[in-house]
Amino acid sequence: MFSRSRPAAAPAGMSFIAADVVISGNIATEGDIHVDGRIEGDLACAALIMGEGGRIAGGITADKARIAGLVDGSIATRELFLSRTARVTGGVAYESLSIEAGAQVDGNVAHRPGIATDADAAPLKLIAAAAAE
C-alpha cells in the first residue's frame, strides 16, 4: 500500500515525530515523545527520546531524556543520557547524568537534586500558558 517503509509502531502512550516533520510552537504532554524531526519551540513531556536526526530549538523539560541529536536550548530533567552524537547548546540541569564519549555540551551543566518536581509540573504549566493566549 505504501511505497516508503514506515517506522515501527510507537509504544502505547508515546507520540512519534518523524524525520520529515517540522513543528513550530511549544509542545506539552504528560506522555512520552520520540523525536526524529524538528521542533522549533519548547518541549515538556514525561520522557523524551531524540534520534540522531532530531533537532530541537527551544527548552526541554522532562522527567527522563535520551538525546542523540541537536538541542539549541536549555534542558531540565531528572535523568539525562547524552549519546555520542548529542550536541547541546544551552544550560543543562539534571539529577542524574550519563554522557557517552563524543557528546558535546556548550553551556552550563548543573546538578539539581529534586528537579523531578519541576519537570513533573512543567507540562501542565505550558498547557495552562497556551490556553491563556
- Residue 131: predicted pLDDT: 47
Element spanning 59, H or E: none
Residues in contact with 120: Cβ distance below 8 Å, sequence separation at least 6, in sequence order: 63
Residue 6 pLDDT greater than 70, yes or no: no
Higher pLDDT, 3 or 72: 72
At residue 91 the predicted structure's pLDDT band, cuts being 50, 70 and 90, is very high
Alpha helices in 1-133 (DSSP H): 116-132
Residue 91 to residue 112: CA distance in whole angstroms? 12
pLDDT range class, residue 57, cuts 50, 70, 90: very high
Region of poorest pLDDT, from 22-31, 54-63, 124-133 = 124-133
Average pLDDT rounded to a whole number, residues 1-9 = 47
- Among 65, 69, 42, which residue's Cα sits nearest to residue 53? 69
Place of cell 546538578: 111
Give the chain's mean pLDDT.
85
Strand partners, 93: 76, 110
Q: How many CA atoms lie within 13 A of 1 on its CB side?
A: 1
Q: What is the pLDDT of residue 114?
A: 79
pLDDT score for 27: 94
User: What's the average model confidence in pLDDT over 113-129?
Assistant: 58
Region 52-71: mean pLDDT is 97
